[in-house]
Amino acid sequence: MPQSTGLVQITNTWVESGGDVPLQVVGGGLALCMSMTLDQSLVGNDYSFDINWQVVEVATGHINNNWAGQIFNNGNSINLDQWFLEGGGDYTWVIDNNSNAYGVLAGGENHAETSGAGMYILRVYIFIDAGYNGPPPGTAQWAVSDDLYFWRD
């Protein structure tokens, strides 16, 4: 069961390859997917926000992190109000077609694997924390997904 402080929740995580939801990823692209619920009370307070997509190679324990702020070339946490213009509710994120960036293809550089094949874990973290103007104490929110295991051949 995913853990959260209550006002933000990760409701599901999954991987896709070629439009399917496999237990075993064979070749091709890889999409990391996450659905979440955001409480309306968090919108409109100028809070900062980020998602961490973490892929762990089970054999080595190597962790490959991709922050939403980095993926979308922000370099920093993101203004929650700008990303969730519609307000609170249910949202789905899919970051796809670049499995090498997650460390799940042929090795080299800072990628998680050595040969590309093996067991991986997807973990997703959401942080809504100190607003750009500073939130009142106790308003920081977070959510962590359950570990999702998948195999790469």
- pLDDT attached to residue 34: 92
The Cβ of residue 13 has, within 10 Å, a number of other Cβ atoms equal to 20
Structure tokens at 126: 């959401």
Q: C-alpha dihedral over 66, 2, 47, 67, to 10 degrees?
A: 0
User: Do residues 34 and 71 make contact, with C-beta atoms less than 8 angstroms apart?
Assistant: no
Partners of 37 in the β-ladder: 9, 90
- pLDDT attached to residue 36: 94
Structure tokens at 129: 């924390």
Domains assigned to the chain: 3-152 (2.70.50.60)
The 10 Å CB-count burial string (b at 16+, else e) for 113-144 is: beebebebbbbbbbbbeebeeebeeebebebb
Query: What would the 3-class secondary structure string for 37-58 be?
Result: EECHHHCCCCCEEEEEEEEEEC
Provide the residue-wise pLDDT of the chain in tens; the chain has 153 residues: 569 988 999 999 998 876 666 666 666 667 888 999 999 988 888 888 888 888 888 888 888 887 777 765 556 678 888 888 888 899 998 876 555 556 665 444 444 445 556 788 999 999 888 665 555 556 788 999 999 998 877
